[in-house]
Amino acid sequence: MPEAEMWTFNRLPSGGGSSTRIRQLGLNFGAPGDRYGENKTLWLDYPSIGGRSPSVSVSVEGAQVSYFRKHASMIEGEALTWVAASGVSGIEKLTVRLAKNATEKQSYTVRLYFAEFDGVKKGERLFNVSLQSKLVLENFDIAAAAGGTNRSVVTEFKGVTVKDALQLDITCPAEQKEKAILSGIEIIAEG
């Protein structure tokens, strides 16, 4: 049954030693559990509601943060529709700790997953996204980028340098009614 969604939880051993760096991780906001992607990325539900998962330090900030979930069958597109089918609304800042006691920086490829819902049309939800204080998306419009609503879209950024923590900041125009949304973030070490 392709319409049946498969979710689980993962109990992985914690890393040893004084310096541990995450090499590959996905955060699936609002998801009902953990899931592996075809490229072996472990997607963790955030907040964790599906059972025990590996411990990763994640902070989501915003004035009115809320989580939502739809069924993946409602989403079209080539990107992971089961990631795009849920998300966080009202997000302004995301911090993911990728290293403990790091002495050197690591370059990462960062992919951001989005889908527009609730009939929000092109031009109604615009926002800027910065990674490590560098603007990477300006006036991003999910509906325009995806070609409509209920369609997934992924943006990819290579060479994002991180010592300890990856920081993502999102800002919306003050007069805009719609809050920023994000379905997922995939972080993969380069080299």
pLDDT tens per residue across span 138-187: 999 999 999 999 999 999 999 999 999 999 999 999 999 999 999 999 99
| Higher-pLDDT residue of 41, 53 | 41
Taking alpha carbons only, the member of 111, 89, 105 closest to residue 27 is 111
Which residue, chain included where needed, has tokens 């509601």? Answer: 49
Taking alpha carbons only, the member of 116, 99, 90, 72 closest to residue 163 is 99
Q: Compute the radius of gyration of the chain from its Cα atoms.
A: 16
3-state secondary structure at position 7: coil
Q: What's the confidence (pLDDT) of residue 6?
A: 56
3-state secondary structure at position 122: coil
The Cα–Cα gap between 174 and 9 comes to 39
Q: What's the confidence (pLDDT) of residue 4?
A: 53
DSSP 85: T
Q: What's the confidence (pLDDT) of residue 67?
A: 98
Read off the tokens for 85.
């089918």
DSSP 19: -
Q: What is the pTM of this model?
A: 0.91
Q: What's the confidence (pLDDT) of residue 13?
A: 42
3-state secondary structure at position 114: strand
At residue 118 the predicted structure's pLDDT band, cuts being 50, 70 and 90, is confident
Between 15-29, 30-44, 62-76, the lowest mean confidence (pLDDT) is in 15-29
